[in-house]
Structure 1
Amino acid sequence: MNNNLEIKIISTQDTLEIRHKVMWPNKPVKYIELPDDNVARHFGLFVNGEITSIISLFSIDGVVQFRKFATLNKYQGLGFGSLLLKNIIKLLEKENIKKLWCNARVEKKNFYKNFNLKTTNKLFKKGNIEYVVMERYFIQKN
């Protein structure tokens, strides 16, 4: 890959734009907004200056949930999402978090296993999509 890559914090508005395009383009933008978006940290992976992948982090007492992890369709399958998640995990390790977790679509659980997230017995369905809660614990550094 001979691309200029950069990961940086992005605005809620930039996040919503990508979420909408990738996840629910046929729904109104309000549908993909989360109640705590205003207190989340949103990150974007830029390739040659264009946001290609996004992820939103929601933290409470050293436990971080990532949500709305998405990559623009034309960039899917090129490793950009993996690169973003790998770097976010490195950042969170430096921040000495206790646990990282997500609600993963069941068909994507093997992807998240590559990042040492483990499946739990917590399963649920939203719409016609089945999800499993996946988590990773971190060793606390004093």
Structure 2
Amino acid sequence: MIINEIPASETWAIRHKVMWPDMPLEFVQLKEDYLGIHFGLYNEFKLVAIVSCFEGNEEMQFRKLATLTEEQGKGNATVLMDYILQQAKNRGVKRIWCNARVNKKSFYEKLGLRDTRITFFKSGQEFTIMELRF
């Protein structure tokens, strides 16, 4: 496995396919993408998992963590998140957080994030804010 910084445009296909396949591609293209740092995890030269990070005020939000369906359950997202968490620590971030789909909450809890119990709905999905403070 190799993790590299990638352009935002390289995240869009996986975001679309995995997270919002019934929506137009533009739905997964964030207007803030140009402000973020985007990472991709490669398995044998194939991009299989992505995440986008946005930093400011000693905080980092990660968004759009996604792994190709056929590559899920193999530890790819865990490896990518471990990398992101270490990057946050190295950069002096005090809090890392995300808007997690409620049905994926247990994944983030295994990584040490806690549920703030602040929830909301977007496009028919329920989300909760998960965070880790350093």
TM over 0.5: yes
What corresponds to 1:64 in structure 2? Answer: 60
2:11 aligned counterpart, secondary structure: helix
1:97 aligned counterpart, secondary structure: coil
Q: Report runs of 4+ in structure 1 exceeding 4 Å deviation.
A: none
What corresponds to 2:129 in structure 1? Answer: 133
For residues 75-116 of structure 1, give each alpha carbon's deviation from its aligned partner in whole angstroms, at most 9, with x where no partner exists.
Answer: 011111111101111111111101000011111111101111
Question: Residue 123 in 1 paired to residue 122 in 2?
Answer: no
For residues 46-66 of structure 1, give each alpha carbon's deviation from its aligned partner in whole angstroms, at most 9, with x where no partner exists.
Answer: 000011000000111211000
Q: How does 1:47-86 map to 2 (within 5 A)?
A: 47-86=43-82
Could you tell me how far apart the structure 1 residues matched to 2:3 and 2:84 are?
9
Question: Residue 91 in 1 paired to residue 82 in 2?
Answer: no
Could you tell me how far apart the structure 1 residues matched to 2:70 and 2:104 are?
19
Q: Which ranges in structure 2 are unaligned for 5 or more consecutive residues? A: none
Could you tell me how far apart the structure 2 residues matched to 1:11 and 1:47 are?
18
Q: Which ranges in structure 1 are unaligned for 5 or more consecutive residues? A: none
Could you tell me how far apart the structure 2 residues matched to 1:56 and 1:41 are?
6
1:15 paired residue among 1, 11, 18: 11
Task: State the number of aligned residues.
Answer: 134
What corresponds to 1:39 in structure 2? Answer: 35
Could you tell me how far apart the structure 1 residues matched to 2:17 and 2:103 are?
21
Q: Which amino acid aligns with 2:68?
A: L
Q: Which amino acid aligns with 2:25?
A: V
Q: Percent identity?
A: 39
TM-score, L = length of structure 2: 0.96
Could you tell me how far apart the structure 1 residues matched to 2:124 and 2:14 are?
22
Could you tell me how far apart the structure 1 residues matched to 2:93 and 2:21 are?
33
Which protein is bigger by CA-based radius of gyration?
1
Could you tell me how far apart the structure 2 residues matched to 1:85 and 1:47 are?
15
Superposed displacement of residue 25, structure 1: 2.2
